[in-house]
Each structure stands twice: as C-alpha cells, then as structure tokens.
Amino acid sequence: MKDCRKFYINGQWVDPVTANDFDVINPATEEPFAKISLGSAADVDKAVAAAKEAFKTYSRTTREERMALLQKIIEVYQKRYDDIVTTISEEMGAPLWLSKAAQAATGLGHLAKTLEILKDYEFEEDRGATRIAKEPIGVCGFITPWNWPVNQIICKVAPALAAGCTMVLKPSEVAPLNAHILAEIFDEAGVPKGVFNLVDGDGMGVGVPLSSHPDVDMVSFTGSTRAGIAVAKNAADTVKRVAQELGGKSANVILEDADLQKAVSGGVMSMMTNSGQSCNAPSRMLVPASRHDEAVEIARATAEQVKPGDPTAEGTTIGPVVSETQFNKIQDLIQKGIDEGAQLVAGGVGRPDGLNKGYYVRPTIFANVTNDMTIAREEIFGPVLTILPYKDEAEAIEIANDTVYGLSGYVSGEPEHARKVAAQLRTGNVHINGAGPDFGAPFGGYKQSGNGREWGDHGFEEFLEVKAMLGYTAA
C-alpha cells in the first residue's frame, strides 16, 4: 500500500491540517493500492497563501529563466517517464501501451510546445504612444480529471509556469498519484517554492474553497458540465477568470464519398480508445441511411477486434473504466439504449466474457439510433458507440449540431467536401479524415462544452492579463 497522504505546499511535503484518509482503487482489481488524504479549506488557504507570496518574485522572472526551468522539467520528466506510465495504468486502468504512447507522452508534448511558444512570444508591443503589455494573471487554481490526468495537468501547469503565474492543483481524488509524481518532478527541476502547490481532495472539500478563494485570480477546470457550472458559480463572487473544458457528445459525420471501411473502422477504434473515457470521443457516428447496414457490419467486425483485459497484459486493447461509479452509470445507459429500442449490434450490459473482476465494460455498439434517444444525448463516457442514419447532408449537419455540447467533431469524405461540412459544425475542434491531435492547436468547446481554450498559443494566453500604458513612448 503506497502512502501518499502528504500535500506539496511551499516547496515541502506537509501533513494535512486534518487527517482524512482515502483509498485509491486499482480499477482492474477493485482493490485499494494507495492512500491519500482528502484536504480541506484550511489546506487550500495554506497553499494559496504560498502561491500568492511566490507570485511576487516569480512573476518578475525573465523569459530566459522560465525557459531554463521548463527545459529542466522536461529533462526530469523524461527520467521519470516509466514511473508515470505505470502509475497512470494502475490508478485509472489505461493499458500500458496507451499509457506509454499517449497518456504520458502528452505531458512531454505540451511541455515542448510551451517552451517553443515562450521562446518567441511577444509580451509587449507599441501602438503609437501606448505600450500594450501582457502580464501573468496571478494565482491560478487548477481542478483536473482522472481520464487523461497528466495531459490535463500539464496543459495547464506548463503555460502557467511559462507566463509567470503561480498555482494550486487539485487533481482528481480517483487518480491522484500521477500528480504526486509531477510534484516530485517540479521539485527536482527547481521550481521555486510556492510556485506549484498540490492539495488532494474532493470537490466539496477542496474544489469549492479553491474556486471561490478571494486570492485566486483564475480557475481552470476540466471535468463534467455539471461540475463546471458549479465551479463557475463558486468563482462568480470574486469575479475571477474561469476557463472550462467540459463534456462532449461529438458527432462523426461519414459522408457519401468517404471510404466507408476506413472511416467506420477508424471511428469505432477511436471511440473505444481509453475505454471511451475521452470528452472529445466520436460517440455519435452519422452514416448515410442508404449505407447504414453496410456500416453496421463494418462496425460489428471492428468491435470484435477490441480486446478488453488486464492493462498490463500483452494484446489488451482497452482496460477497465475508472471506478465502480462509472461502471454502474455506463451499465445503466446501455440498458437505457436497449429499453428505448436502439439496435444492439455488439456488446451490451455486464462484463466481457472471462472477466469477473474489475470495472470492465463490453465494447458496445448501437445502430438505428435516433438523436432523441438518451444514448445519443447524454455523455456515456465508456466504450459505447451510437450509429445514426441520415437521409442527406443537410440532415447530417442538423443532427451533428443538435446537442448542448460542442467540444469536437469528425468528418470523413473527399477533402473539399469534408472541409465544407467541417465549417458548418458548431464545435471547437473538427478532425478531418482521421487527423490526429495537434499540440499547437487550440482545444476547447462551444456551448456547454466550456469556454476558453487550452493547448498552443491560445492556451498560453489564457494565463495573461492585458495592460495598456498610455503615453509610454511619448517624447
């Protein structure tokens, strides 16, 4: 049993103000393997005070000093890479291959891109006699999820450090150990005391006092839309900046002129990756009604190739979902799909054959889905794909946009045709013909998928305030 009950505050590992032990569960075994402490408002106060004091000096560091710090973090991160890989797999169930190739890799990707942006970023410009300066926003509160834990921490921490901000992180209490490794990395890399602080806890105990704290200048939250609304309300009284990356129900529009085999099989595998636990997963596959049955058979055959199993085993495609709570929610929604009359093509309720322990979900595909069904409206956050037929392109676009969410979208077809449809989707991202992620591109959503942007220069600028100094260059 790993003992991770201390918090990282003001450059030291310290005991919580009040002990409140919490077990971290391995979702593959359903057994606890580590203990953390759930913090309180008193712990948040200590961490915020440290960050506020550190901001006085860290905000005045030079570009070159912050570049050197990011470079050192990259070096230490690479040294601890294998620890990050195994920890993420153990606490949230990602197969080791995915944890290595994507989960841990995203951290390095964001650090490298942030360093590149910082090197050439123009913090000042003159317009006539006025100088416009971009300055660090101040103390930042970060609340991050369990599904892509390192990705979501680093895409906030890296630009905040680069901009000259200080911060307090509350990682998900479900998968917090990766954050402890990151704190160790930052410590070894020489991040000045108080610049980065870590307090474990749940939403009520730590999330609320952090997002409402009068000395926090910005809160950046990634998680469910429901929780994001609560964060925004908590932050409102102190008029702090709020950046949110929330839920999604992304449409995958497969056009008549697409390579159906490639588009459908690729869409199924993309949906199943990370056990479907991605906010931007292509969970609604829209196919021409005339080719619906053909698409269903491709999807069925592809789903049969998805192998759930032990995250540490060779050949495992997907691991368990993260917790019993998530498992039960997904099971209920699969049953809801059956009850509402969707055609069950693959999977269904219950665990996959041969897996009697662990929060494993059967790779599930529904066809002949209509967009008013629960499984087409709600974010399932599991390996469950819905296939919806459409009669023409106009209806496909209408269905795609008929959602409260707007995080991501996907379009497959002849390039010019796909670009035309992509331009009509009301989403923050659109992936055309299977395009993968781009660390330099802004990531975020329309509508109830959030506000603000992460990644690249747009994410960097979330951590800057704009100051106009009039008459600055006057003779």
Q: Is 279 a catalytic residue?
A: yes
Residue type (1 letter), 111: L
Report the candidate in 326, 422, 339 with the shortest Cα–Cα distance to residue 373: 339
**To which H or E segment does residue 245 belong?**
strand 241-245
- Yes or no: say if 409 and 250 are a contact pair by the CB < 8 Å rule: yes
Tell me phi and psi for residue 309, to 5 degrees. Answer: 170, -175
H runs (alpha helix) in 308-448: 324-339, 374-377, 393-401, 415-422
Residue type (1 letter), 67: M
- Yes or no: say if 96 and 89 are a contact pair by the CB < 8 Å rule: yes
Measured between alpha carbons, how far is residue 315 from residues 278, 306, 310, 382, 427 in Å? 21, 10, 9, 20, 34
Helix (H, G, I), strand (E, B) or coil at 126: strand
Catalytic residue among 245, 379, 454, 462: 245
Instruction: Label residues 110-146 b or e (16+ Cβ within 10 Å = b).
Output: bbebbbbbbeebeeeeeeeeebbebbbbbbbbbbbbb
DSSP string, 234-274: HHHTTT-EEEEE-----EEEE-TTS-HHHHHHHHHHHHHGG
410: tokens are: 């996907």
CA separation for the pair 349, 141 (Å, rounded): 39
- Yes or no: say if 167 and 138 are a contact pair by the CB < 8 Å rule: no
Catalytic residue among 4, 279, 379, 462: 279
- Yes or no: say if 163 and 140 are a contact pair by the CB < 8 Å rule: no
Tokens 């980065």 correspond to 196
- Yes or no: say if 296 and 345 are a contact pair by the CB < 8 Å rule: yes
- Yes or no: say if 311 and 319 are a contact pair by the CB < 8 Å rule: yes
Residue type (1 letter), 351: R
119: tokens are: 């090197």
310: tokens are: 């032990």
- Yes or no: say if 408 and 427 are a contact pair by the CB < 8 Å rule: yes
Q: Is 245 a catalytic residue?
A: yes
Report the candidate in 187, 210, 188 with the shortest Cα–Cα distance to residue 199: 210
Catalytic residue set:
245, 279
